[in-house]
């Protein structure tokens, strides 16, 4: 009798485990990309005067994965199996930074590209991201150290540690990714401002 009861109980546990596994596997993953700042309706034309290369963008090992990082407390990070980056985060962040700088420096006559496409730039921007996560429905945080190098003199002219936070407008992951895009916009503006200052000294 006890053996039969044990077998029935074990069978129910196995069925529930299998059912839970099937339900989890049946939930489709959703994929996200960062978005650039809005382009002006009429882009000002300026004769190309200098070139800027963006990259590499360096990430900690914890962010070198497709799952979006969620901050659970000061010392813990979680990852969602159903909310992922559409491609490598370092490549997406680099693409957005290059696109943002292209927009922000258009009037200065800058040609901006990523490090793979621009072989001999006038300036190179390297970004080391230390933290890029958030709490859904609350805030996101970007902590990065970036350098600006004058390629002609082979000198690093700027080293800045930046910290940006953005409130998330809603509870969803789309809202969170939009807020993360805004932190990259703030970083792009800071970099563009430093490049403009450097150009004025020439």
pLDDT the model gives residue 38: 92
- Token pair for 106: 């258009």
| Confidence (pLDDT) at 80 | 87
pLDDT in tens, the chain (202 residues): 444 443 444 344 344 444 444 444 567 999 999 999 998 876 666 678 999 999 999 999 999 999 999 999 888 999 989 999 999 999 999 999 999 999 999 999 999 999 877 678 999 999 999 999 999 999 999 999 999 999 989 999 999 999 999 999 999 999 999 999 999 999 999 999 999 999 988 7
Amino acid 27: pLDDT: 78
Residue 26: per-residue pLDDT: 63
Confidence (pLDDT) at 140: 98
Quote the CA–CA distance of 128 and 146 in Å, as a whole number: 6
Question: CA dist 94 to 35, 40, 156, Å?
Answer: 11, 21, 19
CATH class of the domain defined by 2-200: alpha beta
Q: Give ∠ CA 42-122-189 in degrees, rounded to 5.
A: 45
Are the C-beta atoms of residues 190 and 142 closer than 8 Å to each other? no
pLDDT at 40: 82
Nearest to 51 by CA among 127, 128, 152: 152
Q: What is the pLDDT of residue 43?
A: 64
pLDDT at res. 128: 98
Q: Calculate the alpha carbon distances from 128 to 56, 90, 160 in Å.
A: 8, 10, 10
The residue count of the chain comes to 202
Question: In Å, how far are 28, 123, 126, 140, 175 from 182, measured between CA atoms?
Answer: 27, 24, 19, 10, 11
Residue-level pLDDT at 62: 93
> What pLDDT is stored for residue 48 in this prediction?
84
Q: How far apart are CA 145 and CA 126, in angstroms?
A: 8
Residue 168: per-residue pLDDT:
97
């Amino acid at each position: 009798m006890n053996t039969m009861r044990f077998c029935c109980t074990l069978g129910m546990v196995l069925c529930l485990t299998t059912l839970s596994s099937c339900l989890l596997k049946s939930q489709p993953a959703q994929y996200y990309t960062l978005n650039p700042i809005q382009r002006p309706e009429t882009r000002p034309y300026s004769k190309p005067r200098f070139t800027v290369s963006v990259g590499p963008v360096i990430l900690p090992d914890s962010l070198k994965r497709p799952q979006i990082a969620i901050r659970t407390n000061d010392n813990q990070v979680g990852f969602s199996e159903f909310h992922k980056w559409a491609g490598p985060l370092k490549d997406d962040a680099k693409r957005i930074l290059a696109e943002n700088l292209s927009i922000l420096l258009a009037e200065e006559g800058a040609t901006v590209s990523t490090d793979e496409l621009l072989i001999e730039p006038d300036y190179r921007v390297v970004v080391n991201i230390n933290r890029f996560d958030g709490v859904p429905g609350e805030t996101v945080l970007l902590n990065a150290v970036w350098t600006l190098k004058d390629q002609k003199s082979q000198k690093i002219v700027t080293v800045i540690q930046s910290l940006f936070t953005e409130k998330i407008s809603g509870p969803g992951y789309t809202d969170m990714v939009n807020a993360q895009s805004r932190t990259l916009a703030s970083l792009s503006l800071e970099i563009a401002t430093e490049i403009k200052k450097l150009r004025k000294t020439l």
